[in-house]
Structure 1
Amino acid sequence: MRPMLKLHYNLEKLSMGLVAAIILAASVGGIVEIAPLFTIDETVDVPADLRPQTPLELAGREIYLREGCYACHSQMVRSLADEIDRYGPYSLAAESAYDHPMLWGSKRTGPDLARLGGKYSDAWHVAHLVDPRAVVPESIMPAYPWLMRPLETGDMAAQLSTLARLGVPYTDAMIANAERDALAQSRPEGDDAAGIPDRYGEGVAVSAFDGDPARLTEMDALVAYLQSLGRLTGVAYGEGAGRETTEEAAR
């Protein structure tokens, strides 16, 4: 028996030793991935123009997670020429400074969504989510017609409050007005719509996302979230000068 085969044969007979070796190898890989996170506050800068997501966008992000959209769509443009040509500037860690958890991913059954915001109209997104093949005949994406159901808003203030404890700069006014702002963002003609840019900036999309301002639906939330992707900061386009570290932003 060849020496290497004999060594492997003998190793297989030492079951506990083999388990220990597997654990050691997996631990090394885990440490390599986890260790850099302990210094992330010193290595990732928060762009000065980075805004937190509105309550409606945040609700849409939760729906995006709930429906498993992240399993088929990444939100990370890699620094490769063909990727940049197709999707736009490559993704920067600073763009996801307020994400808990971040959704970069690597699976691309569908296209990358990192720069999706503003690429299509609200009506396109609604039609695509209700019946993908009516918009893209070759699409293999499942349909989500149930997103037209009413959006639950009762826990929005609590979500913002929790994220504020994690360093996302939600103010007391943002938390107190969470439910009102969610409704106002989907009613551009409403009296409360002016409060959105006051609290979140002029770049926030205020629109009847699902086409009916008389109701607030999960579709409103998801489309609002999709329209915000890549538009929370201009740092990838060379904007947003004057930055602070994530540690400073959390203070």
Structure 2
Amino acid sequence: MPNFHRKLERSAIGFVLAIIVVSSIGGFVEIAPLFTIDETVEKAPDMRVYTPLELAGRNIYIREGCYACHSQMIRTLRDEVERYGPYSLAVESQYDHPMLWGSKRTGPDLARVGGKYSDAWQVAHLRNPRDVVPVSVMPAYRWLEDNTLRTEDLGLHLKAMSRVGVPYTQAMIDNATNDAYGQANPDSNYAAGVTERYGEATNIRAFDGEPGRVTEMDALVAYLQVLGKLTNAATAANVAIKE
């Protein structure tokens, strides 16, 4: 075998061909499953898209590196399902660009954290995690309450998402800035438009407890409160398995 390697490495053409063969095998293994994606990705007729506020919150979640400690992928293992809820389905991340699946668990998995805690709990946790979880090693994010959310370019972000397959309508794109304000200010004139465009299940409230302006805290909490709530496909699949 050493002699074979020595001969191969001395032959530039042979070495290049060997690299091509090995790379082709690896590429085929990764690409071939994509041809059956329509059969492997579950159907979710009730799937809804992120609102502009929730999408902005997701951007903050990525910006602050939250994904480095929290996965959003509940595996089929019994202990994970019992702790976090129904295992994750591919369809639940079909509108995530980039998707945040992984197995990093410095903190708990957040795939089903939506609605598990109140807005007040989430805000207190982000202000100072030790106030609600004494053993937490998570850093504080107090400044999110002070930072006014940048909303003027949300329409462009929705437009970019629509280019990669997220079904945002032109009305959603045109009203993105107003919808972000309306979702965090339920008594404003813009709140009704959010419900009209994104559905009755949309959370519309002052997420940081202070209506009147939209903060980065509003956006991040809005995103956290919708995790696992964009479709009921996982719950339905779990019930079907038990039956």
Q: TM-score range by the shorter chain?
A: 0.7 to 0.9
Alignment partner of 1:146 is 2:143: yes
| Conserved 8 A contact 2:51-2:180 | yes
| Conserved 8 A contact 1:46-1:97 | no
C-alpha distance in 1, partners of 2:132/2:27?
42
- Distance change (3 Å), C-alpha of 1:31 and 1:129: farther
- Distance change (3 Å), C-alpha of 1:66 and 1:18: farther
Structure 1 stretches of 4+ with a deviation exceeding 3 A read 7-31
CA offsets 1:100-141 (integer angstroms, 9 cap, x no match): 121111111110000000000111111111111111110011
When the two structures are superposed, what TM-score results if normalisation uses the length of structure 1? 0.84
Match of 2:182 among 181, 184, 189: 184
C-alpha distance in 2, partners of 1:141/1:112?
14
Match of 2:204 among 193, 203, 206: 206
Match of 1:225 among 220, 223, 226: 223
| Conserved 8 A contact 1:157-1:175 | yes
Deviates more, 1:112-121 or 1:29-38: 29-38
Unpaired segments of 5 or more residues in structure 1? 1-6, 240-251
Q: 2:62 maps to which residue?
A: 65
Measure how far apart 1:32 and its partner are: 2.6
Alignment partner of 1:75 is 2:72: yes
| Conserved 8 A contact 1:89-1:237 | yes
Q: 1:247 maps to which residue?
A: none
Q: How does 1:17-56 map to 2 (within 5 A)?
A: 28-29=25-26, 31-41=28-38, 43-56=40-53
SS at match of 1:78: coil
CA root-mean-square deviation: 2.4
Q: 1:246 maps to which residue?
A: none
Greater relative contact order: 1 or 2 (C-alpha under 8 angstroms, separation 6 or more)? Answer: 1
C-alpha distance in 1, partners of 2:81/2:39?
27
| Conserved 8 A contact 2:42-2:89 | no
Q: 2:89 maps to which residue?
A: 92
Query: Alignment length, in residue pairs?
Result: 233
C-alpha distance in 1, partners of 2:188/2:209?
15
Q: 2:241 maps to which residue?
A: none
Q: How does 1:94-173 map to 2 (within 5 A)?
A: 94-148=91-145, 149-173=147-171
Unpaired segments of 5 or more residues in structure 2? 238-243
C-alpha distance in 1, partners of 2:202/2:123?
19
| Conserved 8 A contact 1:74-1:108 | yes
C-alpha distance in 1, partners of 2:16/2:67?
33
- Distance change (3 Å), C-alpha of 1:23 and 1:112: farther
- Distance change (3 Å), C-alpha of 1:228 and 1:23: farther
- Tell me the percent identity: 64
Deviates more, 1:39-48 or 1:18-27: 18-27
Tell me the amino acid that sits aligned with residue 182 of structure 2.
A
- Distance change (3 Å), C-alpha of 1:19 and 1:65: farther
